Structure 1
Amino acid sequence: MNEGIFNEIAKRYDNEDHRHLAGVILNELKQHLVDTEDKVLLDYGAGSGLIGLELADQFNKVHLADVSSEMVEVLDKKITLGNTGNAEAHEMNLLEKDTLIKADIIIMSLVLLHVKEHQKLIQKLYDALSDGGKLYIVDFDKNPEVTHPKVTNGFTHENLKEMMSNAGFENIQVKNFYEGKEIFVKTDATVLIASGDK
């Protein structure tokens, strides 16, 4: 994962396209996140908090984690400005160092495509979940038309199910929920959500 690139874009991350797609993803996640008022949420790869911060009022505690120190600064400012007392920002790279945070629910939205070690990261997320916890991965469905040296061109349902199963997840479900124009490296793409229980 290239922290430098994300540091550069941190301050202009909340553009209209990102806000729109985040809103679509947020609406999908909210359908799954019920009775969470006493739960701890970890938004891994939170970026500028377009999703995790919007969910803060549904949880007891929200941890917003990102590899980019500048993204974390943006998050800290948003937390302060929004007076979001139950949210905390963390600089975190689970591929390099484990976390002491234990979450009941982990969400990871449009992050896996930026990572080379997919299986390792999914395993680290499993380890960061409390027993009985749940992981939600939002990413792009496999798209052979996307070619970019710094991202994976999406994931098949079977591939995600296999990686999640290998990490120990059960009751794994994957479904497509949105098709958008030029949303993935300026290419039309389909967004999926995968979930699994620890």
Structure 2
Amino acid sequence: MAQNIFDQIAKKYDSPKQQALAKVIRQEIEKEWGNQSDKRVLDFGCGTGLISLPFAGKVKQLFLVDVSSEMTKITQEKITQQGLLNTTVLTADFLQDLPTFKVDTILVSLVLLHIPQTAEILQRLADMLTESGQLIIVDFDKNPLVYHERVHNGFEQTMLQQMLSKNFSKVHSRTFYEGDHLFMNQAATMFILHAEKNEMLKPLPLVN
């Protein structure tokens, strides 16, 4: 979906339906990611911050990133209103320019389906993680009822697990939610995937 579409819907994005769905997603994330009080967390494709802003008080530092300047403008307004001192919002396209800083955890909620270059963006996100970092993805299961020329019709969990195996040692996923009119006005299910990055290989001791 084009960036300008998100710019156009930004002011209407925080609907009751979106807020309710965000609450469901946050509950699942909290089951997966453990204690984040000393962690630097990045919300990739943050939109208006519905998913991650409520976590600001539970993490050391929170970065929110989106390609839509209208989305990040609204997110910044929320940050200012709430006086969140550990929270930074960025307008950026990670396929074009990747930040130089590292984070411990990356959240990718209902974002991957909008990016055609799946393998490339997963590699870039892996590059941003610390050695023992974790990646959490929430998205739709593959859905034959959905078609859009610019949007994936969901993902096969096993396919994503295989793609991530290059950079992550522990990968698991599960379907956790289903609903009517959930994805492109079709009945759909959502999954959560949790991946822990491979630690750098330590050299073997020399044997005399």
Instruction: Summarize the alignment of residues 56-67 of structure 1 with structure 2, pairs less than 5 Å apart.
Output: 56-67=56-67
2:7 pairs with 1:17: no
- Secondary structure of 1:145's counterpart equals coil
In structure 2, the residue matched to 1:93 is 93
2:206 pairs with 1:197: no
Listed one character per residue, the Cα deviations across residues 51-106 of structure 1 (whole Å, up to 9, x for unaligned) are 11011111010000000111111111000011111111001211111112311000
Instruction: Summarize the alignment of residues 80-159 of structure 1 with structure 2, pairs less than 5 Å apart.
Output: 80-159=80-159
CA contact (8 A) 2:32 2:194 kept: no
Q: What is the CA–CA distance in structure 2 between the aligned matches of 1:107 and 1:160, rounded to whole Å?
A: 15
Displacement of 1:33 in angstroms is 2.7
- Secondary structure of 1:79's counterpart equals helix
2:105 partner letter? I
2:118 partner letter? H
Listed one character per residue, the Cα deviations across residues 18-51 of structure 1 (whole Å, up to 9, x for unaligned) are 1111111011001123221110000000000001
Kindly tell me the number of residue pairs found equivalent between the two proteins: 197
The range that moved more, 111-120 or 27-36, is 27-36
Q: What is the CA–CA distance in structure 1 between the aligned matches of 2:33 and 2:87, rounded to whole Å?
A: 17
CA RMSD of aligned residues (A): 0.9
Q: What is the CA–CA distance in structure 2 between the aligned matches of 1:152 and 1:184, rounded to whole Å?
A: 11
In structure 2, the residue matched to 1:76 is 76
- Secondary structure of 2:165's counterpart equals helix
Displacement of 1:134 in angstroms is 0.1
Displacement of 1:165 in angstroms is 1.4
Displacement of 1:163 in angstroms is 1.4
2:32 pairs with 1:32: yes
Gaps of 5+ in 1: none
Displacement of 1:139 in angstroms is 0.2
Q: What is the CA–CA distance in structure 2 between the aligned matches of 1:47 and 1:23, rounded to whole Å?
A: 15
Q: What is the CA–CA distance in structure 2 between the aligned matches of 1:188 and 1:81, rounded to whole Å?
A: 36
1:183 partner letter? L
Percent of paired sites with the same residue? 40
Misfit runs of 4+, over 6 Å: none
Q: What is the CA–CA distance in structure 2 between the aligned matches of 1:17 and 1:115, rounded to whole Å?
A: 23
2:86 partner letter? N
- Secondary structure of 1:194's counterpart equals strand
Q: What is the CA–CA distance in structure 2 between the aligned matches of 1:35 and 1:23, rounded to whole Å?
A: 18
The range that moved more, 43-52 or 97-106, is 97-106
Q: What is the CA–CA distance in structure 2 between the aligned matches of 1:35 and 1:136, rounded to whole Å?
A: 14
Q: What is the CA–CA distance in structure 2 between the aligned matches of 1:17 and 1:146, rounded to whole Å?
A: 20
1:42 partner letter? L
In our comparison, the structure showing a higher alpha carbon Rg is 2
- TM-score normalized by structure 2? 0.92
In structure 2, the residue matched to 1:187 is 186
1:170 partner letter? S
In structure 1, the residue matched to 2:2 is 2
The range that moved more, 177-186 or 26-35, is 26-35
